[in-house]
Every structure is written in C-alpha cells, then in structure tokens.
Amino acid sequence: MSLTRLADESLDKYGEYVALAFEGRRYTNLEQAQAASRQAHALRRLGVGPGDRVVVMLPNCPEVIRAMAPSLNVVA
C-alpha cells in the first residue's frame, strides 16, 4: 500500500482532523491532501513522472511535508 493511498483511506475513514501543528498554525489532513493534489498536477504538467527525481530543499517546517507529498502522488 502506498503512502498516498493510506492518506486517502485515513481521510475516508476518520474525516477531517488536524494532522500537523506548527508555530500556532494547524494544518488538517484535508488541507494537506488538497495541496498535495494541486502540486502533483503542477509537477505532471512540468513533465515529472514515475522514476523522476524531485529535490526538496527547505528548513524543517510544514512546507517540507507539503512539498514532498506531491512527489508521492505523481508516482501513484
């Protein structure tokens, strides 16, 4: 089972919930999934596909997860 599928099933099973909190900001699993989907579509439009490498260079912050998740969606 892929991480993308696991996240989708979690959303279906448990509904929307806070998945991440950082410096007073809360991010729900639904927000994360929607952002990942938008970014994955953008990567596909740029020609990124299965087997391609995507580099994420960010400080340790929520945007790291938001940047890495689309790469998983491109492969799925």
Q: Which helix (H) or strand (E) holds 19?
A: strand 18-22
- The per-residue pLDDT for range 16-55, each reduced to its tens digit, is 899 889 899 998 988 888 888 888 888 889 998 888 888 8
> Which of 6-15, 27-36, 64-73 has the weakest average pLDDT?
64-73
User: How buried is residue 24: exposed, middle or buried, by Cβ count under 10 Å (0-12/13-18/19+)?
Assistant: exposed
What was the pLDDT predicted at 56? 84
